[in-house]
Amino acid sequence: MSTDRKFVFLTTLLLLYSCCSRVNSSDVSSIPKIAKYFGTKGRYEEVNPHLIADILAVNKSVIRPPSPQCRAIRLTAIIRHGTRYPTTKNVIKMLRFYEIVQKASPTAEDKGWLREIREEWTMWYTEDMDGRLVQKGIEDHRHLAVRLSKLFPSLISAENLRRGHIRFITSSKHRCVNSTLAFKRGLAELWGIREGEIDHTVNDALMRFFDQCKKFLDDVSDNPNALYEMDEFNVGPEMGRVQEKIADRLGVPYSHITADSVEAAFYLCAYEFAIKTVNSPWCQLLDEVDAQIMEYASDLKQYWKRAYGYEINRKSSCILFHDVFSRLEQTIEDYNSGKPVSEAVTIQIGHAETLLPLLTLLGFFKDSEPLRSENYASQTNRTFRTSLMLPYTANLVLVLYDCGGGELRLQPLLNEKAVDFPGLSSMPLYADVRERYKELLQGCDFETECQLFNKTTEN
């Protein structure tokens, strides 16, 4: 058997095993009703449901170049790490909430799911899990690697990999490094290449720019008032109602359930599902109305901490923005001079915090009204929904095409679906993309925007 077929065979066995041993993956009842509201704790499959039936399926019709002549000449992928354990901070919230549920005195009318939480479910999350990548997260990246190579076979190819034309850059966080290793393994297995032969570089300046942007740290990250809108929402009437409903379902006094408890209940359902693909009894604590409110709270956080809320959020990604465009320019230069394109593919693995500021800088998902604590109802149809934008393994892919006669086009894909740069047609001319982002290309200087060398003596 060829390595390729062996891989498919093993994958099939694995799928069969996971389907029939514990989880019936085609059984919709194993998916919590609230799974589509998990925000950044969401499963990639919720955004691409066809993957539930076949994790290696690709939809080639999403890449429909304007003419059959178009040839892909470069690909950049900026990818969030795969499914991970909760961070220590969230594990602590989950442990506290678990204790509250355990201590509440059982009543005769305890529903089945409540008895299940109290008597059968055991707390297995520990503080040392600290956001590490889980097995599912390894698979997320292995599978994404295979799908992207199926979508762009001329770029993500064995030949390009062997020749070193595929470049890997990762954040130093263990969950990102391990995601990178998993992505590489996916390709190595596909083509019978030894993984050790594929290099990657760690680059936090690019993939964790937010840690190095002084103005962002001062004004947003370390500013206790920056998330005012989220804080207000968390003590507002919508969230209050969710707390009461959870208290009622548990049969405990309202005073026992805080905003943290609600968050913990939501996380317990989300993590049990993301990590183990189970619809756990915790999911019974929230209905869809509650989950939409939780999703809004999470969107408020991302909006104000990483997106349109403050100008510096998007500007903190200037360094990555320029890096993306300078790699494109390098490819075009190589290509136009008839040289082989030395770096045909760049795979860059980072965080939701890496992707969101960049998506915002590019103008994606901008609603006419800002997300605020008091406009939950009028934001029902907002485009800014982290559940759709930023599940685990979320990815922004940019593909450069030569459509003949030097006509270059650039196509953006988000989570393997075609999207349009705001204000541009689908698969626009590269020249139009440059024009659209002219001001950023000419400015958007990381050191200036982030006030790295603020001359205080001038004042």
Ligand X SMILES: *[C@@H]1O[C@H](CO)[C@@H](O)[C@H](O)[C@H]1NC(C)=O
Task: CB nearer to ligand X: give 59 or 330.
Answer: 59
Task: CB nearer to ligand X: give 178 or 221.
Answer: 178
Task: For residue 104, give the DSSP letter.
Answer: S
For residue 391 the two structure tokens come to 């599940």
Task: Give residues with Cβ within 8 angstroms of 255, minimum separation 6.
Answer: none
Q: Which one among 13, 14, 20, 289 touches ligand X, defined by CB under 6 A?
A: 20
Q: Which stretch binds ligand X (CB under 6 A): 174-182, 227-235, 267-275, 395-403?
A: 174-182
Task: CB nearer to ligand X: give 284 or 379.
Answer: 379
Which residues are catalytic, by number?
A: 81
Site membership for ligand X, residue 174 (CB under 6 A): yes
Rounded to an integer, what distance in angstroms lies between the CA atom of residue 246 and that of residue 251? 8
358-387 binders of ligand X (CB under 6 A): 378, 380-381
Q: Which one among 62, 123, 205, 431 touches ligand X, defined by CB under 6 A?
A: 62
Task: CB nearer to ligand X: give 318 or 394.
Answer: 394
Residues in the chain: 459
Rounded to an integer, what distance in angstroms lies between the CA atom of residue 348 and that of residue 324? 10
Q: Which one among 55, 73, 94, 133 touches ligand X, defined by CB under 6 A?
A: 133
Q: For 171-274, where are the E strands, in sequence order? A: 201-202
- Which residue carries 């209905």 as its tokens? 287
Task: CB nearer to ligand X: give 58 or 264.
Answer: 58
Closest approach, Cβ 374 to ligand X, in A, equals 14
Write out the H or E segment, with its range, that includes residue 335: helix 318-336
Site membership for ligand X, residue 50 (CB under 6 A): yes
User: Are β-strands 417-418 and 408-414 bridged in parallel, bridged antiparallel, or unpaired?
Assistant: antiparallel
Rounded to an integer, what distance in angstroms lies between the CA atom of residue 278 and that of residue 110? 22
Binding pattern for the stretch 290-319 against ligand X, x by CB under 6 A and - elsewhere: ------------------------------
- C-alpha distances (whole Å) from 31 to each of 24, 44, 275, 276 are 10, 13, 13, 11
Beta pairing partners, 411: 399
Closest approach, Cβ 426 to ligand X, in A, equals 10
Rounded to an integer, what distance in angstroms lies between the CA atom of residue 48 and that of residue 50? 6
Site membership for ligand X, residue 59 (CB under 6 A): yes
Site membership for ligand X, residue 61 (CB under 6 A): yes
Q: How many residues bind ligand X (CB under 6 A)?
A: 15
Binding site for ligand X (CB under 6 A): 20, 24, 26-27, 50, 59, 61-62, 133, 174, 177-178, 378, 380-381
